[in-house]
Amino acid sequence: CLGYSSAAPEICERTLIAVKPDGVQRRMVGEVIKRFEQRGFKLVGIKMLQASEAVLSKHYHDLQKKPFYPALIRYMASGPVVAMGSMVWEGHNVVRSSRLMVGETDSSQAKPGTVRGDFSVHISRNIIHASDSVEVAEKEIGLWFHTAELITWETNDHSDLYQV
Ligand code: UDP
Ligand code: MG
Protein backbone atom coordinates (compact mmCIF):
# COMPACT_ATOMS: atom_id res chain seq x y z
CA CYS A 1 0.00 0.00 0.00
CA LEU A 2 1.58 3.24 -1.15
CA GLY A 3 2.24 5.60 1.72
CA TYR A 4 0.26 4.08 4.57
CA SER A 5 1.95 1.08 6.14
CA SER A 6 -0.42 0.94 9.12
CA ALA A 7 -3.62 1.86 7.31
CA ALA A 8 -6.64 -0.34 6.81
CA PRO A 9 -6.26 -2.25 3.54
CA GLU A 10 -9.40 -0.85 1.95
CA ILE A 11 -7.99 2.68 1.82
CA CYS A 12 -5.22 1.33 -0.38
CA GLU A 13 -7.63 0.51 -3.18
CA ARG A 14 -6.47 2.01 -6.44
CA THR A 15 -8.09 2.74 -9.74
CA LEU A 16 -7.15 3.94 -13.17
CA ILE A 17 -8.85 7.06 -14.48
CA ALA A 18 -8.03 8.14 -18.00
CA VAL A 19 -9.09 11.28 -19.84
CA LYS A 20 -9.74 10.01 -23.33
CA PRO A 21 -8.64 11.82 -26.51
CA ASP A 22 -11.93 13.71 -26.82
CA GLY A 23 -11.61 14.82 -23.21
CA VAL A 24 -8.06 16.07 -23.80
CA GLN A 25 -9.13 17.86 -27.00
CA ARG A 26 -12.00 19.47 -25.15
CA ARG A 27 -9.64 20.63 -22.37
CA MET A 28 -11.37 18.52 -19.74
CA VAL A 29 -8.17 17.34 -18.06
CA GLY A 30 -8.20 20.00 -15.36
CA GLU A 31 -11.90 19.52 -14.67
CA VAL A 32 -11.42 15.78 -14.18
CA ILE A 33 -8.39 16.22 -11.91
CA LYS A 34 -10.28 18.84 -9.93
CA ARG A 35 -13.24 16.56 -9.28
CA PHE A 36 -11.12 13.66 -8.05
CA GLU A 37 -8.89 15.88 -5.93
CA GLN A 38 -11.85 17.65 -4.35
CA ARG A 39 -13.52 14.34 -3.56
CA GLY A 40 -10.47 13.44 -1.47
CA PHE A 41 -8.75 10.84 -3.59
CA LYS A 42 -4.98 10.80 -3.68
CA LEU A 43 -3.22 11.15 -6.99
CA VAL A 44 -0.26 8.78 -7.13
CA GLY A 45 0.63 8.81 -10.83
CA ILE A 46 -0.12 10.92 -13.87
CA LYS A 47 1.18 11.17 -17.44
CA MET A 48 0.22 12.23 -20.90
CA LEU A 49 0.92 9.83 -23.74
CA GLN A 50 -0.04 8.63 -27.15
CA ALA A 51 -1.66 5.26 -26.50
CA SER A 52 -0.21 2.47 -28.61
CA GLU A 53 -2.46 -0.05 -30.31
CA ALA A 54 -0.70 -2.73 -28.26
CA VAL A 55 -1.71 -1.13 -24.96
CA LEU A 56 -5.20 -0.34 -26.20
CA SER A 57 -5.85 -3.88 -27.39
CA LYS A 58 -4.88 -5.17 -23.94
CA HIS A 59 -6.84 -2.46 -22.16
CA TYR A 60 -10.01 -3.32 -24.10
CA HIS A 61 -9.34 -7.04 -24.66
CA ASP A 62 -12.74 -8.00 -23.20
CA LEU A 63 -14.49 -5.95 -25.90
CA GLN A 64 -12.61 -7.40 -28.89
CA LYS A 65 -15.68 -9.18 -30.30
CA LYS A 66 -17.99 -6.17 -29.98
CA PRO A 67 -19.08 -4.45 -33.20
CA PHE A 68 -17.88 -1.08 -31.91
CA TYR A 69 -14.38 -2.37 -31.07
CA PRO A 70 -12.52 -1.14 -34.20
CA ALA A 71 -14.07 2.31 -33.85
CA LEU A 72 -13.23 2.32 -30.13
CA ILE A 73 -9.55 1.60 -30.83
CA ARG A 74 -9.47 4.26 -33.60
CA TYR A 75 -11.06 6.75 -31.17
CA MET A 76 -8.60 5.98 -28.39
CA ALA A 77 -5.62 6.32 -30.75
CA SER A 78 -7.04 9.08 -32.94
CA GLY A 79 -5.68 12.26 -34.54
CA PRO A 80 -2.51 14.26 -34.65
CA VAL A 81 -2.79 15.58 -31.11
CA VAL A 82 -4.04 12.41 -29.48
CA ALA A 83 -3.06 12.41 -25.86
CA MET A 84 -4.20 10.71 -22.73
CA GLY A 85 -3.95 11.75 -19.14
CA SER A 86 -3.91 8.65 -17.04
CA MET A 87 -4.45 9.07 -13.39
CA VAL A 88 -4.17 6.53 -10.65
CA TRP A 89 -5.96 7.43 -7.52
CA GLU A 90 -6.00 5.84 -4.13
CA GLY A 91 -8.76 5.99 -1.60
CA HIS A 92 -11.44 4.15 0.26
CA ASN A 93 -13.69 2.39 -2.27
CA VAL A 94 -12.10 4.46 -4.99
CA VAL A 95 -13.13 2.05 -7.75
CA ARG A 96 -16.82 2.16 -6.94
CA SER A 97 -16.87 5.86 -6.05
CA SER A 98 -15.06 6.85 -9.23
CA ARG A 99 -17.44 4.84 -11.42
CA LEU A 100 -20.29 6.79 -9.81
CA MET A 101 -18.47 10.07 -10.48
CA VAL A 102 -17.85 9.08 -14.10
CA GLY A 103 -21.45 8.04 -14.81
CA GLU A 104 -23.08 5.54 -17.15
CA THR A 105 -21.12 4.34 -20.20
CA ASP A 106 -23.86 5.72 -22.45
CA SER A 107 -23.53 9.47 -21.93
CA SER A 108 -27.19 9.97 -22.78
CA GLN A 109 -28.06 7.88 -19.69
CA ALA A 110 -25.40 9.43 -17.44
CA LYS A 111 -26.80 11.47 -14.56
CA PRO A 112 -26.16 15.19 -14.21
CA GLY A 113 -23.34 15.69 -11.76
CA THR A 114 -21.27 12.92 -13.32
CA VAL A 115 -18.39 13.69 -15.70
CA ARG A 116 -20.16 12.02 -18.61
CA GLY A 117 -23.55 13.41 -17.65
CA ASP A 118 -22.21 16.95 -17.41
CA PHE A 119 -19.92 17.07 -20.42
CA SER A 120 -20.81 14.46 -23.06
CA VAL A 121 -23.76 13.39 -25.18
CA HIS A 122 -22.81 10.11 -26.87
CA ILE A 123 -21.50 6.68 -25.84
CA SER A 124 -18.76 6.79 -28.50
CA ARG A 125 -17.27 10.03 -27.15
CA ASN A 126 -17.63 9.75 -23.41
CA ILE A 127 -14.50 11.64 -22.29
CA ILE A 128 -13.24 9.44 -19.50
CA HIS A 129 -12.31 5.92 -18.46
CA ALA A 130 -12.55 4.44 -14.97
CA SER A 131 -11.70 0.87 -13.97
CA ASP A 132 -14.82 -1.17 -13.21
CA SER A 133 -13.51 -3.49 -10.46
CA VAL A 134 -10.60 -3.73 -8.04
CA GLU A 135 -9.07 -6.65 -9.97
CA VAL A 136 -9.39 -4.88 -13.31
CA ALA A 137 -7.97 -1.70 -11.76
CA GLU A 138 -4.79 -3.48 -10.67
CA LYS A 139 -4.35 -4.94 -14.17
CA GLU A 140 -4.97 -1.57 -15.84
CA ILE A 141 -2.57 0.28 -13.54
CA GLY A 142 0.08 -2.30 -14.42
CA LEU A 143 -0.65 -1.83 -18.10
CA TRP A 144 -0.48 1.98 -18.12
CA PHE A 145 2.19 2.60 -15.46
CA HIS A 146 5.63 1.34 -14.53
CA THR A 147 5.94 0.75 -10.78
CA ALA A 148 8.48 3.58 -10.51
CA GLU A 149 5.94 6.02 -11.96
CA LEU A 150 3.60 5.51 -8.99
CA ILE A 151 4.57 7.88 -6.21
CA THR A 152 4.59 6.97 -2.54
CA TRP A 153 3.57 9.95 -0.47
CA GLU A 154 1.45 10.74 2.55
CA THR A 155 -1.35 13.25 2.53
CA ASN A 156 -1.56 15.59 5.54
CA ASP A 157 -5.36 15.54 5.68
CA HIS A 158 -5.62 11.79 6.14
CA SER A 159 -7.45 11.88 9.49
CA ASP A 160 -9.90 14.47 8.16
CA LEU A 161 -10.86 12.11 5.33
CA TYR A 162 -10.67 8.70 7.00
CA GLN A 163 -11.33 7.29 10.44
CA VAL A 164 -7.98 5.61 10.81
N1 UDP B 1 -18.30 1.97 -26.28
C2 UDP B 1 -18.86 2.35 -27.48
N3 UDP B 1 -20.09 1.82 -27.84
C4 UDP B 1 -20.76 0.95 -27.05
C5 UDP B 1 -20.17 0.56 -25.83
C6 UDP B 1 -18.95 1.09 -25.47
O7 UDP B 1 -18.28 3.14 -28.22
O8 UDP B 1 -21.87 0.52 -27.42
C9 UDP B 1 -17.00 2.50 -25.90
C10 UDP B 1 -17.11 3.65 -24.89
O11 UDP B 1 -16.06 4.59 -25.17
C12 UDP B 1 -16.85 2.96 -23.58
C13 UDP B 1 -15.79 1.95 -24.00
O14 UDP B 1 -16.21 1.50 -25.27
O15 UDP B 1 -16.42 3.87 -22.59
C16 UDP B 1 -15.59 0.78 -23.07
O17 UDP B 1 -16.82 0.15 -22.87
P18 UDP B 1 -17.25 -0.33 -21.42
O19 UDP B 1 -18.47 -1.16 -21.56
O20 UDP B 1 -16.08 -0.92 -20.71
O21 UDP B 1 -17.69 1.06 -20.74
P22 UDP B 1 -17.01 1.92 -19.57
O23 UDP B 1 -16.35 0.96 -18.62
O24 UDP B 1 -16.02 2.85 -20.23
O25 UDP B 1 -18.14 2.67 -18.94
MG1 MG C 1 -15.08 -0.64 -18.91
Q: Can you tell me the ipTM of this complex?
A: 0.99
Between the CA atoms of 124, 65, 95 and 109, what dihedral angle is there, to the nearest 10 degrees?
Answer: 40
Residue type, 51: A
Pocket test for ligand 1, best of 108, 114, 126 (most atoms within 8 A of CB): 126
Is 129 one of the catalytic residues?
yes
How confident is the prediction for the chain on average, in pLDDT? 87
Q: How far is CA 63 from CA 69, 73, 97, 129, 137, in A?
A: 6, 10, 23, 14, 16
Rounded distance from Cα 105 to ligand 1 centre (Å): 6
Binding-site members for ATP are 20, 68, 99, 105, 116, 126
Residues 110, 18, 49, 73, CA torsion sign: negative
- Is the confidence at residue 152, as pLDDT, over 90? no
| pLDDT band with cut points at 50, 70 and 90 for residue 86 | low
The number of the ligand 1 atom at minimal distance from the alpha carbon of 126 is 11
Task: List pLDDT tens digits, range 38-70.
Answer: 999 888 889 999 999 999 999 999 999 999 999
The percent of residues above 90 in pLDDT, for the chain, comes to: 65
Helix (H) or strand (E) holding 25: helix 21-25
Residue 27 exposed, middle or buried by CB count within 10 Å (0-12, 13-18, 19+):
exposed
What does the pLDDT read at residue 127?
95
**pLDDT: is 22 or 164 the higher one?**
22
The number of the ligand 1 atom at minimal distance from the alpha carbon of 124 is 7
- d(Cα 135, Cα 142) in Å, to the nearest integer? 11
